[in-house]
Amino acid sequence: MKKTFSIILVLLLTVVTLFSGQQTDIVYASDDIKLDEVQLPFESKAYLLLDYNTNTVLTNNNETDKYPVASIVKLMTTLLAYEAIENGDLDLDQMILASEHSASMGGSQAFLDANQEYQVEELLKSIIIASANDSSVLIAEAIAGNEQSFVKLMNKRAKELGMNNTLYVNANGLPDANQYSTAMDSAILLKEVMKYDNYFDHSTTWMTDFVHPLDGRATELTNTNRLSRFYKGCDAGKTGYTDEAGYCLVASAKKSDMRLVAVVLGAQTSKQRFSLIYDLLDIGFANYKNEHIAVKGAEIDEKIKVRGAKSEQALLTFEDDFYYISKRTDDDGFELKFELPNRVKAPLMQNDKVGKAFIIKEGKVVGEVNVVSYENVEKQNYRDIIRKIFTKWGVRK
């Protein structure tokens, strides 16, 4: 009996481990908005076009198949660096000493001098713009002590993000038979990195210098993502290339309220990967629109009465944004239906939930958003009560 119980417990823990931490809910375009078969000019191992705001897959091929992704791996190194900065474990202005190991990396590099100090932000700049292998390893060592320990953090974070078809072996994406990811996981990862404003300071830079503190020599950095210069609205992305991976690219562009993420893995040439991403983005922007129905934090017309408060009514807002993606030919509008109590009791704190808003299209509920208090509503005191009594009876001072 005990043995049976132990087996069941292990199975339960395995299930929890496998399905915990999945934060990105990906959906595939429904039949009513799915495009006819997309014709692309070149072949690749995998591709994906994702709507950023709704996590809707608009077109795809082999998007969950495992492939080497080369330097796209560096997006996880970048993400962990920004999270370490956010947590106070690292600082953009911090100087860190380059090890012999980090300075020995080949391929794309900032040409770090071993035993010399470099600023964290400068290292991130060289990774984001020019895909520097040496800077990636140095960042890994600064966060975890050594690259092997950092790789454990990379894989842990991947699982937390729901990147269950990804395995990391190093911090920079240099070839290893055991290292792989997918087009879908690459899109999820770029979206997470894009939460950090400092990332865009560098991802939108076309060309700059990396100045070495020791002797003032400069390494010229040119953005490996050519679309940052040649595709309007493209402000994020990461390239990758090895013989094993082929030519890879994940990129994001924004036009009006719509942002798209496109991924190509295993293109045959560098020119083809950019052309494929260019076409995927064009297809998305030409055929779809993304409407911002509920705006998080914006005051809405609906109000609610508050019993026992200094103010008789509370202003309201939406707890989250709500976007709806549809074909550009879709002219049907939306209706908001609110489900709110007649009144609530004071005090009411900002962002306290008071009800819901349902988004209705063609008579069907297509989404819902919590309605919350726009601001604090304080409970009335004795002076407030007396003032109201005097006001009600017309008594003036």
Question: What distance in Å separates the CA atoms of residue 297 and residue 351, rounded to the nearest whole number?
Answer: 9
Examine the residue annotation and report whether 131 is marked as an active-site residue of this protein.
Answer: yes
Name the catalytic one among 71, 102, 181, 203.
71
Tell me if 165 sits within 8 A of 182, measured CB to CB.
Answer: yes
Q: Which residues have C-beta within 8 Å of that of residue 225, sequence separation ≥ 6?
A: 203, 234, 237, 238, 239, 249, 251
Distance of CA 62 to the CA centre of its chain: 22
- The 3-state DSSP class for residue 384 equals helix
Identity of residue 125: K
**225 membership: H or E segment, kind and range:** none
Cβ neighbors of 327 (< 8 A, separation 6 or more) are 33, 287, 288, 289
Q: Which of 44, 99, 131, 181 is catalytic?
A: 131
Active-site residue flag, 74:
yes
Which of the following is catalytic: 74, 125, 191, 238? 74
Name residue 391's beta-bridge partners.
none
CA distance 82 to 88: 10
Rounded to an integer, what distance in angstroms lies between the CA atom of residue 376 and that of residue 361? 33
Active site amino acids: 71, 74, 131
